[in-house]
Structure 1
Amino acid sequence: MIAAGRIHDSSYRPTSLPGMGLGDIRYEHVIAATEEFRCLGRDEFLRTYSFGRAMSYELVLDDRRYDSKAIAGVAHGYATGVFWKARDFSGGAATVARCLRELGFVVETGEPSSNRAALLARLRNLKVSHGPGNPAPSRHQPLSLLWAISRAADERPRLTPWPTFRDEVGPLLVEFGLPNAKATPEYPFWHLQGSELWEVRGIPAELAKRMPTTGTFDEHHPQAGFTVETANLLRDPVTRLEAIATICETYLEDVDRQALFAGTGLSGYTTAGDLLNPSEDGNADGATDEYGRAIGPAPRRDATRSVIVRDEALARRVKELEGNRCQICGTTLRYLNRPYSQAAHIRGLGSPHHGPDELQNLLCLCPNCHVLFDGLEIYVDPDGLVRGTRGDRDPRPLRRDPRHPMDEAHIAYHRTLCALTARKPEVG
């Protein structure tokens, strides 16, 4: 083993060797990497090995936090002699976080709480205007921010040209703005700069001392969007969800969330699982009789789609631990003379949730409870009781086998989703 604290020569550029991966890393290699991290200091360590700061996953050891991907890359060097850089491998829940956790380390998600808290505080204190005779705050800035967050969730460009902003945000202001309020997208495009979360580029300095006219916007083609710091914070799915919840609860409490999210491009937040596509109904284009009933064989069509590859071994493991018994209702089903249950992810794997495929993010559920859980009809409160978002269910404890760990952060994420979409979001 290479002695802890050894400084790797950054001029050395080895190539990756066949068969070498994260599986080569052992506990002692990670410890050596963390010791070097402490010796050099965070900034020098990241600079030496060409890594950026962690955006989602941090290794926590002895009350210190380490950038998990950088630690893994350096630990790989201690293990094999090949010191990986950020571009050499992918990070995230299914790779680096999983590797470190399997070695016995604690890996937590999220940005530093101070940065996230500052972001949420700025969202709660937008400098919104109040129209004459209407005490309610204008919705122009909140709606524009939700639209911009949907672009961030889709990994679209950070800055948007004025014509695109005008044409896409303008109709949102008409549909979801205050009654009798004028749709003036130029105002949020410019004045969101006062939040310190937003920037506008492309307006000459001599014209930027006061708000330019729409004619100036049309002439100079400026771009606007989140600052780099804000965009980086919103890359984290947990921070992004909290930002959406803060905006809705502060400025859009009485707006129908289903319609709002459909309009702003945030439909992914109306479910904890995959969105259902009505066009996939096999009978949609089939022949029908005079009463509208399907006749003849169901139609077929060719389709190509990208699906998330789930770890089937993890699904089998959670079912075995829970004895194929639903953790919510206690039902044990049988199908084809075999026990039947479903492995449900607490925080969805797909966009926009990007949850990890790990045991701590899985529940063993019957199909009925799985649908209700993904459909945000039921949630687990902070005391471990399963409740209905409509208040129409008697609470009952979530069954937990002692051998089945569950990450409370994932449960809290699902609970926030339920609060966000419920008409009466009193879910703790």
Structure 2
Amino acid sequence: MIAATEEFRRLGRDDFLLKYRFRRATSYELVLEGLRYDSKAIVGVAHGHATGDVLGPRDFSGGAATVARCLRELGFVVETGGIPLNRAVLLERLRKLKASRGPGNPSPSRHQPLSLLWAMSRAADGPPRMTPWPRWRDEVGPLLAEFGLPNAKATPEYPFWHLRGSGLWEVQGIPPTLAADMPKVSILAAHDAQAGFTEEAAVLLQDPVTRLDAIATICETYLRGVDRQALFNRMGLAGYTTAGSLLNPPEAETSGAGVDEYGRPTGPAPRRDATRSVIVRDGALARRVKELEGDQCQICGTLLRYLDRPYSEAAHIRGLGSPHHGPDELQNLLCLCANCHVLFDGLEIYVDSDGLVRGTRGGREPRPLRRNPSHPVNEAHISYHRNLCDVNTHGSTVN
């Protein structure tokens, strides 16, 4: 048992567990001389030191009745340990990435944060969580060159491998005999290595609220001063630059349209067939929120009329589509005029923690969001929208 703990200390937890293909303990830890060890992994490796036959994670079961009892009967101290991964733990680990610093550069490298953002962009659509090395090299490498620190060399192999230290990442395909040190690029390619979030982290990041919090944490901690819109557009995270759908429809093709001698179009505008997939909204909910608010904008108080009838718009606070996946419910709706709806979806205005509507760029007089007791608003959706604004304004104005 002692030999196994010595090897654990020599290799470090991550490399030890990778070498013998064990996962981190979630329930029981061996405590020896003030240090904590993953109990099941220690028992399996200790069996190898004693008999020459290392037990793998599938060769025996762990838990109170097996590993914990065995270790206690031998006189070792076993305590409940292993921190289960939850939203708070995930965000804390993101704040404490082991980002290196180059010579003469006090700022931490952006390689790991940028790599995690790219992986999160894939998590939003739910594809396989593991990425083969060739794709990682070809897609992440250019991002590191474009958005990394000035004069920093783009080395996608480093985050591919060293993100394991975050406790949120794993690398598969590398034989234990080659995993003691960081493998060369040729080894990553030869063994079809692939990397990605652990299963626990990937499940957490499927939740849109947790994913936005994770993106905000990375941007706030490591990427201040980076052009967020350019970054998100390049990363495949363009959906996070708006709270709704402000994308303009494709312009009509002009081929075949008549033109005069100066090249100006003549006659009726051309048409073309198009097929779109749209979210089906509950029209009754939209009518209900307008009735409750009397068609009056909850932000500016404007009461518009169109064709001699009141006109207002039902605005979702947390967008319905990807990547926000907000619910189509009354508590996620505001009654707004057309102008405020555009500003709200475009992240130009937000509701602060005191219920005041402010501008993300400043220069706007705060005013309270009008509330109707018959129209409850879910504060979690307001907070989500505020967090989205914060991500897009470099964390400098939204509170």
**TM-score normalized by the length of structure 2:** 0.76
Query: Which of 281, 303, 306 is residue 274 of structure 2 equivalent to?
Result: 303
- Please name the residue that 1:281 is paired with: 251
Larger Rg: 2
* Pair 1:199–1:329, CA change in 2 (3 A): same
Query: Which of 141, 160, 170 is residue 189 of structure 1 equivalent to?
Result: 160
Query: Which of 342, 346, 352 is residue 313 of structure 2 equivalent to?
Result: 342
Instruction: Name structure 1 gaps, 5 residues minimum.
Output: 1-112
Question: Matched residues, percent identical?
Answer: 75
**Aligned equivalents of 1:377, 1:290: Cα separation in 2:** 43
The amino acid of 1:347's aligned partner reads: R
Query: Are the aligned partners of 1:268 and 1:275 in contact in 2 as well (CA < 8 Å)?
Result: no
Query: Are the aligned partners of 1:390 and 1:424 in contact in 2 as well (CA < 8 Å)?
Result: no
* Pair 1:427–1:277, CA change in 2 (3 A): same
**Aligned equivalents of 2:263, 2:217: Cα separation in 1:** 45
The amino acid of 2:370's aligned partner reads: R
SS at match of 1:190: helix
**Aligned equivalents of 2:357, 2:258: Cα separation in 1:** 43
Query: Are the aligned partners of 1:152 and 1:231 in contact in 2 as well (CA < 8 Å)?
Result: yes
Query: Which of 277, 283, 303 is residue 312 of structure 1 equivalent to?
Result: 283
The amino acid of 1:159's aligned partner reads: M
The amino acid of 1:122's aligned partner reads: R
Query: Are the aligned partners of 1:283 and 1:294 in contact in 2 as well (CA < 8 Å)?
Result: no
Q: CA RMSD in A?
A: 1.7
CA offsets 1:160-192 (integer angstroms, 9 cap, x no match):
111011100000001000111111100000000
* 1:275, distance to aligned residue in structure 2 (A): 4.5
Instruction: Name structure 2 gaps, 5 residues minimum.
Output: 1-83
**Aligned equivalents of 2:253, 2:338: Cα separation in 1:** 23
**Aligned equivalents of 1:211, 1:149: Cα separation in 2:** 24
Query: Which of 336, 347, 362 is residue 365 of structure 1 equivalent to?
Result: 336
Query: Which of 70, 88, 92 is residue 117 of structure 1 equivalent to?
Result: 88
**Aligned equivalents of 2:158, 2:263: Cα separation in 1:** 50
Answer yes or no: is 1:157 the counterpart of 2:108. no
Answer yes or no: is 1:384 the counterpart of 2:389. no
* 1:290, distance to aligned residue in structure 2 (A): 7.8
* 1:146, distance to aligned residue in structure 2 (A): 0.3
* Pair 1:290–1:249, CA change in 2 (3 A): farther
**Aligned equivalents of 1:385, 1:420: Cα separation in 2:** 19
* 1:281, distance to aligned residue in structure 2 (A): 2.5
* 1:156, distance to aligned residue in structure 2 (A): 1.2
The amino acid of 1:190's aligned partner reads: W
Query: Are the aligned partners of 1:283 and 1:298 in contact in 2 as well (CA < 8 Å)?
Result: no
Alignment of 1:84-95 (within 5 A): none
- Please name the residue that 2:295 is paired with: 324
SS at match of 1:343: strand
Structure 1 window deviating more from structure 2 (295-304 vs 234-243): it is 295-304
Query: Which of 158, 178, 182 is residue 207 of structure 1 equivalent to?
Result: 178
* 1:155, distance to aligned residue in structure 2 (A): 1.1
- Please name the residue that 2:219 is paired with: 248
SS at match of 1:379: strand
* 1:299, distance to aligned residue in structure 2 (A): 2.1
Query: Are the aligned partners of 1:418 and 1:425 in contact in 2 as well (CA < 8 Å)?
Result: no
**TM-score normalized by the length of structure 1:** 0.71
SS at match of 2:86: helix
Answer yes or no: is 1:405 the counterpart of 2:359. no
* Pair 1:206–1:321, CA change in 2 (3 A): same
Query: Are the aligned partners of 2:220 and 2:394 in contact in 1 as well (CA < 8 Å)?
Result: no
SS at match of 1:383: coil
Query: Which of 180, 185, 188 is residue 151 of structure 2 equivalent to?
Result: 180
**Aligned equivalents of 1:403, 1:162: Cα separation in 2:** 55
**Aligned equivalents of 2:121, 2:375: Cα separation in 1:** 34
Answer yes or no: is 1:419 the counterpart of 2:363. no
* 1:427, distance to aligned residue in structure 2 (A): 1.2
* Pair 1:322–1:284, CA change in 2 (3 A): farther
SS at match of 1:344: strand
Q: Paired residues, what number?
A: 315
* 1:425, distance to aligned residue in structure 2 (A): 3.1
Query: Which of 109, 118, 127 is residue 138 of structure 1 equivalent to?
Result: 109
The amino acid of 1:335's aligned partner reads: Y
